[in-house]
A and B are shown apart, each in its own frame.
Chain A
Amino acid sequence: MSSTFLRYIAQRVVQCILVIFIGITITFLVPRFSPTDPVEAAVNRAMMMGQYSHPDAVRMMKEALTKMYGLDGTLGQQYIRFWKGLLSGDLGPSLSSFPKPVMSLIRTSLPWTAGLLLVSAIISWTVGNLLGCLAGYFGNQRWSQVIGMIAMALHPIPYYIMAFVLLVALAYVIPVFPIGGAVDIGLKPSLGWIYISSLLRHAFLPALSLVLIGVGGWFIGMRTLVTNVVAEDYVTYAKYAGVSDRTIMYQYVMKNALLPQITGLAMQIGLIFNGALITEYVFSYPGLGYLAYNAIFTGDYSLIMGVAIFSIVGVSLAVLLIDLAYPLFDPRVKYQ
Chain B
Amino acid sequence: MLKVENLKAYYQTEMYGVSRNVRAVDGVSLELQKNEVYGIAGESSCGKTTLIRTLFGAFDPPLRVVEGTVTYSLDGESVDVTKIQGERLRQIRWKQVSYILQGSMSLLNPVRKIRKTFWDFTRAHEPITDAEKFEAMARNHLNRLGLPAQVLDSYPHQLSGGMKQRVAIALATLFEPKVILADEPTTALDVIVQRGVLQLLKRIQRETQSTLVIVTHDMGIHANIADRVAIMYAGRIVEEGRVKHIFGDPLHPYTKHLIESLPKIGDKSTRTSIPGAPPNLGDPPPGCRFHPRCPYAEPICRRESPHLAAVANDRRVACFLVTTKENAHVS
Contact = CB atoms under 8 A, between A and B. Distances in A.
Interface of A: 232-234, 236-238, 240-244, 247, 251-252, 255-256, 259, 329-332
Given A241-B93, A241-B124, A243-B121, A332 B157 contact: yes
Q: Is the interface of A mostly helix, strand, loop or mixed?
A: helix
Contact of A233 (B103, B113, B121, B157): B103
30 contacts: A232-B106, A233-B107, A234-B106, A234-B107, A234-B108, A237-B107, A237-B171, A240-B58, A241-B93, A241-B121, A241-B171, A241-B172, A243-B121, A243-B123, A251-B109, A251-B112, A251-B120, A252-B109, A252-B112, A255-B109, A255-B111, A255-B112, A256-B110, A259-B111, A329-B111, A330-B111, A331-B110, A331-B111, A331-B113, A332-B155
> Interface centre among A236, A240, A244, by most B CB within 10 Å?
A240
Contacts, number: 69
Given A233-B107, A247-B120, A240 B112 contact: no
Contact of B93 (A240, A255, A329): A240
A233 B111 contact: no
Q: Is the interface of B mostly helix, strand, loop or mixed?
A: loop
Given A252-B112, A330-B111, A244 B101 contact: no
A99 B146 CA distance: 79
Nearest to B89: A242
Given A233-B101, A233-B103, A237-B168, A244 B124 contact: yes
B222 to A, nearest CB: 24
A238 B121 contact: yes
A65 to B, nearest CB: 58
Nearest to B98: A241
Contact of A332 (B103, B110, B124, B168): B110
Contacts of B102: 233
A27 B109 CA distance: 45
B56 to A, nearest CB: 7
Given A233-B101, A251-B116, A251-B120, A241 B107 contact: no
A240 B101 contact: yes
A332 to B, nearest CB: 5
B94 interface: yes
A43 to B, nearest CB: 62
Nearest to B61: A140
A142 B10 CA distance: 26
Interface in B220-268: none
B93 A238 contact: no
Contacts of A331: 110-111, 113, 155, 157
Interface string B123-137: 111000000000000
A47 to B, nearest CB: 66
Contacts of A247: 120
A242 B88 CA distance: 11
A294 B121 CA distance: 60
